[in-house]
Every structure is written in C-alpha cells, then in structure tokens.
Amino acid sequence: MDSFTAITLAVFLPFILAGILPTVAKLLKDKIGWYASAVAFLSLLLVAQAAPEIIHGETIQRSIEWLPSVGIDFSFYIDGLSVMFGFIVSGIGVIIMSYSNGYMSKKEDLPRYYQQLLFFMGSMLGMVFSANTIQLFIFWELTSITSFMLIGYWRNRPMSVYGATKSLLITATGGLFMLAGFLVLHAITGTFDIPTIMHSESIKEMLHGHDLFLAALILIFIGAASKSAQGPFYIWLPNAMEAPTPVSAFLHSATMVKAGIYLVARIHPIFSGTEAWFILVSGVGIFTMLLAGFLAFRQTDIKGILAYSTISQLAYLMTMYGYTTHHEPGIGVAAATFHLLNHATFKACLFLVAGIVAHETATRDITKMGGLRKEMPITFIVATIGALSMAGIPPLNGFLSKEMFYEASVEMGHLVGGPWSILIPALAVLGGVFTFAYSIKLIDGIFLGKRPTKGLPDHIHDPSMIMLAPAIFLAGLIILFGLVPSIPVHYFVGPTVSGILLEEVHLHVKLWHGITPSLIMTIVTFALGLLTYTQYGKIADWQDRFNAKFPWISVNYYYDAAVENAKKVTSKFSNRMQPGPVKTYVVALLLLFIAMFAIPAAMLATTLVPQNLNFDVPLYESIIFLFMIASALGAALLPRYIPAIISLSGLGYLVALLFIYLQAPDLALTQVLVETLSTIIFLLAIVKIPQKFREHIPKTTLVRDLLISVTIASIVFILLINATQGIVPPFESLSHYFVEKSLSLAGGHNIVNVIIVDFRGYDTLGEISVLCLAAFGVYNLIHSRGDDQ
Amino acid sequence: MTTLITKTITKICLPLIILFSISLLLAGHNNPGGGFIGGVMFASVIALTYVAYGLDYIKSFFDPDWSNWFGFGLLLASLTAFAALAFSHNFFRSAVEFVHLPFFGEIELVSAGLFDIGVYFVVIGGLLSIFKNVGDDK
C-alpha cells in the first residue's frame, strides 16, 4: 500500500468504523472500548506504514480533484511534521481508549463516548495531513465540534455545559478568524495549497513585502492561539476539565490543544524570519507561559493544575516556534518539536494518574489528599516520573528539551541584543521556576506528607492493570526518551524539523554536554523553584488580595458578561419575533410575499397584456370550476372546523379531477394521495381542539385579512395569466432539453420522473432531507411539549 | 367513525394498494409513477388501516419504527449519489444497464432507480412517523 492510500485510510477509517460502532456495541456490550482501541491501533499502523519514507527525508503530496473551479483540491501532504502528529494522535488514542475501559463506568453511555472519541481522532488526523487550507479548516472545526460534545459528555451537569459552550464559542470563533486569514493568504498568493507557498521562494518574498502580510499573520495566529488556549483565549481550557479525565488527557493536553501549535509549525516556513512573527508568537507565548505557570501553581484541583500547566507548556512551544530572525529563521524549532513530543508523553501520563487518583479517592481537591504513596505505590512512582520530567530533572526527557529551550532563549536574546539578551533568558527561567514549583506541588500534595484523617475513603489501592498499564507505558517512554534521546530525535524530531525548515537537518541531543549557560540556568531554576514552593502561603495571600482588589482584570469577567448580555438580547429578540400563535407567522409570510411581488405584478399587469387568452372552456371543465368555487367558499365560510376541512379537501380533489382532464395523470395521482393524507393529518390535529363555533374575530382583523387575501390572489392571478403566455423572448424554454435528453442520457421515458431522480437529483436529495427533518420536527414538537406537563 | 364496511374494504384493498405502490415505484422511470408517488400511496394505505382499525389495535401486532425507514431511505439515496464518486464520475452521475432475463425479457437497470427507492422509503417513513406521532398524541 502506498503512503497516500495508507494516510487516507488512517483518516477515514475511524469515521466509518465509528459510524457502525453502535451496531458493534450491541454485540460487544461493555467491551466496546476495546473495539475503539483496535480502530485507533489500526490508524497507528497505517500512519506507521507511511513513516519510513518520511524518515528517509522524503515528502509526499497527492491530490484528488474536489472543487476545481475555485482551485480547491482534496489533498494530503505527508512530511515529518504531519507524521509526528499522526503518531501522537493515534498513539495516544490507543492508550486513552484502552485506559477508558477501566475508567468509564459500565453504566455510562459508552457507544456515544467512544464514537465521539473516534470521530475526534479521525478529524485530528485529517487536520494534520491536510495540504489545503480549506480542507484544514474543515477538519479543524470538526475537532472543535467533537471536543464540544466530549466536554459536554455529562449533559446534565451545568458546569459541563458551561465548559463545552465556552470552548466551542472560543475555538470555533477563532477558527473563523483563521479562515479569514486563509482567505487573505489566498488573495495574496492565489493558492490554497500550503506546500506550494512553502516551497516557492518567490511567493514567500512577495508575501513578506505585501501590505496584507500582517493581516494574514494576525488572523491565522488568532485561530492558532484560541485553539491552543494562548493569550486571552486561555480561559476555555480550565473549564474544559469538566470532561471525563481520559478526554482531558487526549484532547485537552496531548492532541487537540496542540492543533494551534501544529498550525504555527505548519505556517512557520511561510511567515517566519520576520520581526512580526517573533513579536507576535514569542510575545504571546512568553506572556502566557508566565501567567499560566503562576496560575497553575495556585490551583487546588489536580486537573486544574494540569490544565494551567498545559497552557503554560503550550506557551513554551509557541515561544520557541516564535524565535526567529531573518538569517536564522528556525532557532527554537528543534527544541520546540522535541518538547512537543515530550510534553505529549509526560502530560498524558500525569492526566492518567490524575484520573486514577480521582477515581480511587473520589475527590480532585489536592488539599484533601496526602500521604498516598504507601497505599498506591505504583501510581506514586509513575506520577513522580511524569512530574519530574515536567519539572526538568535529569535524566528524564523533559530535562533535555528544557535545556534546549534555555539554549534557544540565550541565542535569541543574544541575537536581539541590548537588554533583551538578559531579559529573554531570565523570563524563560522564570517560566521554568513556576513549572518546577507546581510539579513538586503535585507530588507533594497527593503522595507525600501525612494522610489527612478524614475526607478520604478508608481503603485506597492501586487500580487494575487496565488503567495502570497505559500510564506505566508512558512513564517508560519518558525514561527511554531521556536516556536514549537519539531514538525520538532520529525517528520523529529530525524529520519534523526538516519538514519545517525545508532542509536536511542533523540533530544531536546528548544527556551531558558539559557546563553550559543552559545547565547553569537549569540549576538556578531548581533552586528558585524550591524556594517558590516553600513560599506558597505568602504568594497565595498576595494573589487573593490582588484578585479581590481588581476583579475586572480577569478575562473570564468579560467573557461571562458578554455571554450573559448576548443571551438577554437574543431572548428579547426571539420573544418578539416568535410570539407563539401561528397566525402571526402566516401574516408575516404573506406580507413578505406581497412586498416581494406586488411591484413586479403591477408592472406586468400594465405592460404585458395577455394576447391570446383562451375563453373557449369546455362544459365539463366549467362545471368543475363552479364546484371548486363553491367548495372554496365553503372552506372559508362554514362555521365548524370539520366541515370546513372536508370542504377544503374537496377543493383538492376537484383540482385532481381537472388534472385528469388536462392529461396529467402523474399530477392527478399525486394530488389525490397528498390531499388524502394531509386531510387525515389535519383532522387528527384538529380533533384535539375544542369543537365549538370558531372564535369571534374583530372587524378590523377581518378587514385586514381580507385585504391580504385579495392582494395575494390578484398577484397570483396576474402572474399565472402571464405565465400561460409561454416563455418571453430573451429567455429560452428548458423543456426541450429534457424532452430530448431524457432517454439518451438517463434511459427513461417518463420525463417528470427522470427530472426528479436524475437531472435534478440533487434537489430531490435536499427535499427528502427536508422531509426527514420535518418528521424529526413533529416528533420533537409533540414529545418536548410532554416534558413540560 | 369506523364501520364494518370500512374495515372490510380496507382488508381487501391493503395488499392491492401495496402492490400497486410497488408497481408505481418500479414503473416510474418510463410510465407515470415514481418513488414519491409510490411512497405516498403506501403511506396512505397504512394510514387507512390506522384509521379503520385504530392506532392502538394495529400497534399491538404491527409497530415498526418508521424513523428507521426514512433513515434507511436517506442513506440509500445519498449512497447512490456518492457511488458515482467511487467510479471516478461526478457526484450524482447515473448509469443505465440493460439486462436480459429469462421470462422477464429485457430489463432496464438504472442507478437512478435505486435513488428512487431511497426516495420511496423516505416518503413512507417521513409521512408515517409524522402521522403516528400526531395520532399517538394524547
């Protein structure tokens, strides 16, 4: 199988296999999680199938024509970056879905859970392999939607709903900014294809000099920042922790939040090497790194610590990808890529541990925990490995990439010069200090110290291997990557860096590389980190006083105010627009019709006087017409509902009779059947309404309704009279085409049917979809009303 | 509102009308008929039995979930539209094939016919689920 086919399958198989998941769930019952794990494993194998060529330094792109008229192809671009993400997404996917088998209670709605996880995995894989900005955008928004559904998995918890809404509002709106950025990019470069822009020096040069360069960069970066919870957009991620913990580990630490980082890495070759890129990406990164690092230190919910820590770690990546100068466009790229991989391992590991701890102790509050090392020895060891890696202790993988981060910061500071040569490394160290402090806090708070006397269950123990094995596996990876860094560097980081910098790169990462500035910075980090941790009480006091003094400094304050106001305004608007009685809507619709057609109809009536009206009506037709008038009057004037409806349907049957005389059997048949069914449904609905005389209608309303009816009737009359004149010269009749081609193109003699199912098949598909929606609508209307009673 | 006469007529008409609806569906490509009209025909005869015998009585031995019918129909119709893509044609491209079968003679197989069957099921499912929901509402 060639790589393109493998990747196409890796992206679409999760969707297809998730589609049949509910059916499989009936067979496997609560073992369905293993099916989902198997699907993820299949994707992992398919990504691995494409990997060897990429590791040898090749890139593959293949397209299928999709919308050729606007220059959009369905296209996959397979390079080091996308393959590394492919591995992270499918690999962590396997781990998470296996772990969920132990975590999720059997009483939960498991098919929905796994189906959405698989949908997410497919969307994420599709996103990272997309070569085309529009295709990337579609998969990007799909990940936002699946994330929304997974955060809101527990639908009846208000906080879940709040978190889900918040994440969707922020990430999907960010996605729209990104789309606008892509369109600006298209306006400048004339293509939607990312590799085309990436590989063409002339396009890049033109882009860098273009007036709209900054607009495109900022718009796309807003998309990336909102997805990766950077800058002011960070607020959605802590609330997203309402999701089941495996979901938080998968989407909100290891993969989906890295989509923004992926995007930054993907457009790195296009936009980097400019001052704007450095200021925007690194500036937002450093700011977020410090803020979120500090906030993580202050949390008491273990998932809260991990959430803010994720924001802070993602900000590291942003900062590093932002390090760029004109001559050295990719200073931090290697460090960022390595740290990205390491973060996926240690953060997913820590989330799994958090899930285990919350599962066993039934709380997530770190102040209620302590001294669990004796009861959960294995969990304790795994957690310590993960946390120490995050803190940057040798010989774990976090140490290596943290060193590279410091190295890149020193180099960047040196290249910018002036006070920045000290300031940038100093800020980097400060970020590291917070990371160190909250990592220690996690271990100390949960596992060390004394066990609190109350608030915890009596018997706490390590969980089953189903939950433990994935975490142990990740801890193993952390140690392996730390001791033998050449493995990840050779297979993942090297090809990725080559993919971003578009040149052959040979990286050498060693555990011990002598006494360098970065090593000194690391030692300073540890010392200051310990100091910060011991001063926790003072810092907490200071921050609480600060928050009480300035409540308006929080972004959440503005988000909540904006959403509350939007709710108020929209409910006011919809209450005015939808008062309830159907009559109001009908009047509005009819008035709209009059507004649209009154003037054209009046003009037609004056200019286009019918030439050849045929007054030679046969006797039987005129009798039918008389009956029709009588039954129409009956429908309007009869005082009771049921006779009026019967009279109305009588009118319908008379029309059908007319169709027969006019030699249109199809129409007649349809008319009879539709009339029958609609009359029955009408009767079923109307018998529930009190059957006394109709309500008294005031005279003004009567006059108004009469006026509307007469106007509409005259407009329709004028339009019909003119329509019977046939096609007016500048336009041509379409029917010849259908009459001629019906047999030769579609093999049918019945032109009406051929038009419905073949020539206008797309319309019909739309119509039957509407019919399905109407059926759902009726179902909801009837069943939702039952809830209120 | 139901009399013995209605019930008896319904009993006789039911199989005839169902057969007629199927023939309308299959004949549709060349003669008057088609998926829509066949579907409405089928739906109205089921509606007739509901009215003649009462919804609760019919439901006691024959109670399909009509929403599955329109789900299936919509799936079938969309699949025939997408099937063209699998053969590297444009979306919705149709195909015609003439097959010679013993006893039946020349038979025309049209991919649009499958689409029409999808329409048939959507119409039946959609109308009857509306009908049943409105009728069931106490």
pLDDT digits (tens, 9 = 90+) for A418-443: 888 889 999 999 999 999 999 999 89
- Report whether pLDDT(A786) > 60: no
Whether residues A208 and A331 fall in one domain: no
For residue A170, tell me if it sits in a domain.
yes
B-interface mutation test, from A653, A662, A762, A768, most B Cβ less than 10 A away: A768
**pLDDT tens, A261-317?**
999 999 999 998 888 999 999 999 999 999 999 989 888 888 999 999 999 999 999
d(CA A397, CA A346): 9
* A chain contacts of residue B29, beta-carbon cutoff 8 Å: 747-750, 753-754, 757
Chain A residue nearest residue B32, CA to CA: A666
For residue A185, tell me if it sits in a domain.
yes
Whether residues A206 and A319 fall in one domain: no
d(CA A411, CA A432): 17
A499, A534, A569: which is the final residue of a domain? A534
Whether residues A332 and A478 fall in one domain: yes
Nearest to A775 among B37, B44, B70 (CB): B70
Whether residues A315 and A209 fall in one domain: no
B76 inside 8 A of chain A by CB: no
Is B40 in Cβ contact with A677 (below 8 Å)? Answer: yes
* Segment A197-225 mean pLDDT: 91
**pLDDT tens, B47-82?**
888 888 888 888 888 888 888 999 999 999 888 888
pLDDT above 90 covers a percentage of chain A that reads 44
A656 inside 8 A of chain B by CB: no
Is B30 in Cβ contact with A748 (below 8 Å)? Answer: yes
- Measure CA of the first residue to CA of the last residue in chain A; give whole Å: 59
pLDDT above 70 covers a percentage of chain A that reads 97
Token pair recorded at residue A374: 């004796």
Whether residues A189 and A299 fall in one domain: no
pLDDT interval class at A789 (50, 70, 90): very low
Q: Residue A784 sits in which domain range?
A: 732-789
d(CA A497, CA A268): 11
pLDDT interval class at B107 (50, 70, 90): low
Is A688 in Cβ contact with B94 (below 8 Å)? Answer: no
- Report whether pLDDT(A728) > 70: no
Token pair recorded at residue A701: 């309303």
Instruction: Name the average pLDDT for chain A.
Output: 88
Q: How far is A66 from chain B (nearest CA, A)?
A: 10
How many A-B residue pairs are in contact by the CB < 8 A criterion? 142
Helices A32-55 & A494-501 angle (0-180, nearest 10): 60
pLDDT interval class at B131 (50, 70, 90): confident
For residue A53, tell me if it sits in a domain.
yes
For residue A760, tell me if it sits in a domain.
yes
B118 inside 8 A of chain A by CB: yes
Alpha helices (H) along A278-301: 283-298
For residue A86, tell me if it sits in a domain.
yes
* A chain contacts of residue B33, beta-carbon cutoff 8 Å: 666, 669, 750, 753
Nearest to B127 among A677, A748, A754 (CB): A677
Residue B100, beta-bridge partner list: B106
Q: Is A365 helix (H, G, I), strand (E, B) or coil?
A: strand
Whether residues A187 and A302 fall in one domain: no
d(CA A335, CA A282): 14
Is B119 in Cβ contact with A761 (below 8 Å)? Answer: no
- Report whether pLDDT(B127) > 80: yes
Whether residues A285 and A189 fall in one domain: no
A-interface mutation test, from B21, B65, B133, most A Cβ less than 10 A away: B133
A519, A534, A549: which is the final residue of a domain? A534
- Look at residues B21, B19, B22, B17 and name the one whose alpha carbon lies nearest to residue B52: B17
A16 inside 8 A of chain B by CB: no
For residue A527, tell me if it sits in a domain.
yes
For residue A324, tell me if it sits in a domain.
yes
Whether residues A146 and A278 fall in one domain: no
Whether residues A109 and A205 fall in one domain: yes
A680 inside 8 A of chain B by CB: yes
Is B70 in Cβ contact with A684 (below 8 Å)? Answer: no
Is A676 in Cβ contact with B131 (below 8 Å)? Answer: no
* Segment A77-103 mean pLDDT: 92
Is B28 in Cβ contact with A762 (below 8 Å)? Answer: no
Number of domains in chain A: 3
A513, A534, A555: which is the final residue of a domain? A534
Whether residues A308 and A163 fall in one domain: no
Q: What angle do CA B87, B88, B94 make, to 5 degrees?
A: 60
* Segment A373-393 mean pLDDT: 91
pLDDT of residue A788: 47
Whether residues A208 and A295 fall in one domain: no
**pLDDT tens, A480-518?**
999 988 888 888 888 888 888 888 777 777 777 777 888
Whether residues A516 and A378 fall in one domain: yes
Is B36 in Cβ contact with A670 (below 8 Å)? Answer: yes
* Long-range Cβ contact pairs of A621-624 (< 8 A, separation 24 or more): A621/A658, A621/A661, A624/A654, A624/A657, A624/A658, A624/A661
* A chain contacts of residue B115, beta-carbon cutoff 8 Å: 757-758, 761, 764
For residue A519, tell me if it sits in a domain.
yes
- Report whether pLDDT(A785) > 70: no
Q: How far is A509 from chain B (nearest CA, A)?
A: 48
